[in-house]
Amino acid sequence: MQRSHKGDICLVDFKPTKMGEIGKLRPAIILSDNQDLALFTTVVVVPLSSLVIKNNQPYRYFISKRQQLKKDSDACIYEIRSLSQSRVNTKIGNITSGELDGIRQALCDLL
């Protein structure tokens, strides 16, 4: 497993799941601070979905395709979770600081 950083888009294994949870191996945005990633065995992530729903903030935040993220996606803000770092696989891209701020604001609006 490579070292993840805040703002990275990585493939994350969300299995097993319970009813209604987002699942499978899918891209997710790393939200944990870099120092927390060094201290803890868990990581806070927001999963991405290629099912884009327009004007659905604060529940979703649009992320355009880039690097190895092959499809436009929504960051599923309401699906934020903490998982073992061992579930984090390959880095496929990263988000901008502006997008990170937008996700942070959506989380504040939601909570």
Mean pLDDT of 13-42: 93
pLDDT, tens only, 40-86: 999 999 999 999 999 999 999 999 999 999 999 999 999 999 999 99
**Residue 19 CB partners (closer than 8 Å, separation 6+):** none
Mean pLDDT of the chain: 95
The one-letter amino acid code at 26 reads R
Q: Report the pLDDT value the prediction gives residue 3, as an integer from 0 to 100.
A: 82
The CA distances from residue 54 to 73, 84, 91, in Å, are 11, 31, 26
Report the chain's terminal Cα–Cα distance, integer Å.
Answer: 32
R_g over Cα of the chain: 13
pTM over 0.75: yes
Question: What does DSSP assign to residue 32?
Answer: S
What are the sequence ranges of the domains in the chain?
Answer: 8-110
3-class SS string, 4-28: CCCCEEEEEECCCCCCCCCCCEEEE
Give the per-residue pLDDT at 1: 52
Q: Is the model's pLDDT at 10 over the cut of 70? A: yes
- Strands in 1-111 per DSSP E: 8-13, 25-30, 42-49, 60-63, 73-76, 81-84, 88-94
* 21 has pLDDT over 90: no
Domain formed by 8-110, architecture: Roll (2.30)
